[in-house]
């Protein structure tokens, strides 16, 4: 259990950064979806750029996972409709709830306990997807 404490501490730091940058603010998310502010697009763009850089560095330095295997990004199936439909559902859920999956848990830490309804709905949606996965286009 002790080896996971670093991940717990990074999670706490990540939560603090998201709260301080207002990335969990419903008003900032609302502004983003109305194209009134660059704030959230800047945060998302910075996260994507950081992820790309860290992935390239980890590939170059051959950094291993906690299990000792090399870090690999699995290839995804190509397809247009799966990303449009999935992205639309995700975006609608994000716009309606005012939070995407990561910040939903951070909002509990800030005392917004009504987000528990959204988390329950997200878990139910994931369960329903699991039931219907074989019948959906992939």
Digit-by-digit pLDDT tens for the chain (138 residues) are: 777 898 889 989 988 988 888 888 878 888 888 888 888 899 889 999 999 998 888 888 888 877 778 877 888 888 788 788 888 988 888 888 878 888 888 888 888 898 999 999 989 988 998 999 888 766
Task: Give the residue among 57, 121, 54 at the shortest CA–CA distance from 92.
Answer: 121
pLDDT at 97: 82
By CB neighbour count within 10 A (0-12 exposed, 13-18 middle, 19+ buried), where does 97 fall?
Answer: buried
pTM over 0.75: no
- 33, 95 in Cβ contact below 8 A? yes
- Terminus-to-terminus CA distance in the chain, angstroms? 37
Please state whether 79 falls in left (phi above 0), alpha (psi between -120 and 50) or beta.
Answer: left
- Beta-carbon contacts of 31 under 8 Å, excluding residues fewer than 6 positions away, are 37, 39, 40
Distances (CA, A) of 115 to 69, 95, 119: 36, 14, 6
- Is the Cα dihedral 49, 118, 8, 28 positive or negative? positive
């Amino acid at each position: 259990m002790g080896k996971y404490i670093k991940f717990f501490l990074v999670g706490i730091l990540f939560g603090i950064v998201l709260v301080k940058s207002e990335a969990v603010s419903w008003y900032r998310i609302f502004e983003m979806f109305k194209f009134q502010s660059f704030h959230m697009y800047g945060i998302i763009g910075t996260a994507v750029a950081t992820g790309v850089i860290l992935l390239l560095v980890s590939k170059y330095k051959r950094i291993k996972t906690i299990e000792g295997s090399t870090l690999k990004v699995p290839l995804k199936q190509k397809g247009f409709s799966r990303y449009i439909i999935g992205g639309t559902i995700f975006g609608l859920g994000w716009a309606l709830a005012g939070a995407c999956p990561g910040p939903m848990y951070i909002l509990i830490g800030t005392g917004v306990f009504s987000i528990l309804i959204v988390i329950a709905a997200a878990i139910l949606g994931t369960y329903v997807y699991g039931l219907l996965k074989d019948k959906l286009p992939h």
